[in-house]
A and B are shown apart, each in its own frame.
Chain A
């Protein structure tokens, strides 16, 4: 543009950030919470809390699962077993029923969660999508075809990438901004907060945005596959992700070899590491095969390693994913970084904190724009002009979409505890609580975007979060009094409750902060009705030059 490079990048940063910030915030918050999707799912199924507290070794859990499958799913073409992990203590089994007569393709898929110690199906938990909803919300949004949603999210992610790169160029003093926070100075404070949050976790923000695009890159950028494979996605997939072939059943019965030795052999082949998923093809047939894949844990790359066995003799027949090419491994690592399934509890918590910083960065950026424009508008107002439509819209959306988001999340969790366990379409009802709460907040925000309304919204969100552990006391047998004070666990549930308390407290603290600020400003305004805004106005060019020097 006309001005210097840095100014034009400041412009790009502002607009690429502002235009998509509300969608981005939803994507960021959902993605951040999805780091704990297993834990959230567990919290949302109180019926599973007791089994979760008594784990057994994986080999025992898997043998128990096999015994259950041999009894209940004999003659089915394929069994799936998901071994317990540190984060999800139940062992789950699944199989596809044969298609109903006259129908093509696969039949209904049956899935059960078993008590790992006994192999008995757990008491059917309440119907909920739990953390899975938040995980899907992160890239599939809701109430629309997944394909559209992924394009929308990808479009916003690309804006985010442009905003991050141009934001970095805008900052000459990037290192100094790290240590700069000038509180209680209006616009300046918002700028400092935005800078500090963005710069502190910059490598994370850049990584998570780029790797997010990488997770769906063949959809967003099919040009390479089109050019080389003439658009034949299947041939390309077969080249990149070789999979073991499955044999047809021979029709001759033969007993399935025990899985314990196979698991040991697979672990020996990998040099350690836990088992993740076991697939048994044609169990009870002479052509039975067993595929054992390795748990992602501790491994940065998302590429799966797996070992195949003959199901009757128990001999190892082939392996996949042991020696990926450099390019395949690079993509695996980028995907792994995004999904963070390798992260141990401490690292996972750091990822979560960085994700929260990302949410706060998006939110403060949106607020910063409105605060800046509001000060410019104050001058126009003083001359008898009107506040522009753009500013009103942004202020309203900020209040509704940002201030209302905690209420939406809390409403989803409240719905999980309060909706009757046996009701029809319970899953849809839970999810609709999220969107109804968010929608109402957004409408109210657009109608009355005032400071008082900010206090009310944040106050409601904070109170709803702080009340969640209390709600547990009345609706479950695994509230903090039992899980924490009596030390019975399960610990993920304890963590969830404690986080709800802390986060709710933080929101209420913000309300108090706003209250103080209001009462501090009022007397000044009363004493000097004609007074200019108490915060010195700074126009955008001046800000950029300040940063540039």
Chain B
């Protein structure tokens, strides 16, 4: 029973680590892409600004993953905005 709980805890931590490192990067990447496309500036400046802010997005995502009440919420909080922003990127790229 006890080892079962221990295993569960470990799996939970591993799952969150993946969500933070890979999921967080994915979220940072799509938000960078969206900002680079959408910011109303010269295109080089939009890219620079978006890229400068990317690490802030990343670190906030990591904080969220480990602050969330359970691993499911952690994943949802990363996955849903990534998907949404990703759709935005596709729409803007299609329009361009």
Binding site for B on A (CB under 8 A): 1-2, 5, 8-9, 11-12, 16, 158, 161-162, 165-166, 169, 210, 213-214, 217-218, 221, 223-229, 236, 239-240, 325-328, 330-331, 334
Contact = CB atoms under 8 A, between A and B. Distances in A.
20 contacts: A1-B67, A9-B63, A11-B66, A161-B55, A165-B63, A169-B63, A221-B28, A221-B51, A224-B32, A224-B33, A224-B48, A224-B54, A225-B36, A227-B34, A228-B36, A236-B47, A239-B43, A327-B46, A327-B49, A334-B52
B33 A240 contact: no
B10 interface: no
A162 B45 contact: no
A325 B42 contact: yes
Contact of A227 (B37, B55, B58, B62): B37
B19 interface: no
Contacts of B35: 224
Given A8-B67, A221-B54, A239-B43, A227 B33 contact: yes
A124 B43 CA distance: 49
A12 B44 contact: no
Given A326-B45, A327-B41, A227 B36 contact: yes
A11 B63 CA distance: 11
Given A327-B44, A330-B48, A331-B52, 13 more contacts: A12-B63, A169-B63, A210-B55, A218-B51, A223-B32, A223-B33, A223-B54, A224-B33, A225-B51, A228-B46, A240-B44, A328-B45, A330-B49
Nearest to B57: A221
Contacts of A225: 36, 47, 51
A162 B48 contact: no
Contacts of B42: 239, 325
B30 interface: yes
Contacts of A162: 20, 59, 62-63
Given A227-B93, A228-B37, A327-B48, A217 B54 contact: yes
B29 interface: yes
Contact of A228 (B20, B30, B47, B62): B47
B90 to A, nearest CB: 10
Nearest to B58: A158
Given A223-B32, A227-B89, A158 B44 contact: no
Contact of B48 (A1, A8, A161, A240): A240
Interface string B21-40: 00000001110111111000
B6 to A, nearest CB: 14
A169 B52 CA distance: 23
A224 B63 contact: no
Say whether chain B's binding surface is mostly helix, strand, loop, or mixed. Answer: helix
B78 interface: no
A9 B55 contact: no
Contacts of B30: 223
A239 B32 CA distance: 18
Contacts of A210: 55
A161 B32 CA distance: 18
A156 B28 CA distance: 17
A35 B34 CA distance: 37
Contact of B55 (A11, A16, A213): A213
Contacts of A217: 51-52, 54-55
A166 B20 CA distance: 14
A221 B49 CA distance: 12
Nearest to B71: A1
**What are the nearest 10 A-B pairs in CB distance?**
A224-B36, A227-B33, A239-B44, A327-B45, A223-B29, A327-B48, A224-B47, A223-B32, A221-B54, A12-B66
B37 A5 contact: no
B59 A165 contact: yes
A321 to B, nearest CB: 14
A331 B36 contact: no
Contact of A221 (B29, B41, B43, B59): B29
Contacts of B47: 224-225, 228-229, 236
Contacts of A16: 62
A184 B54 CA distance: 43
B52 A214 contact: yes
A130 to B, nearest CB: 32
A228 B43 contact: yes
A152 to B, nearest CB: 14
A453 B31 CA distance: 50
Contacts of A2: 69
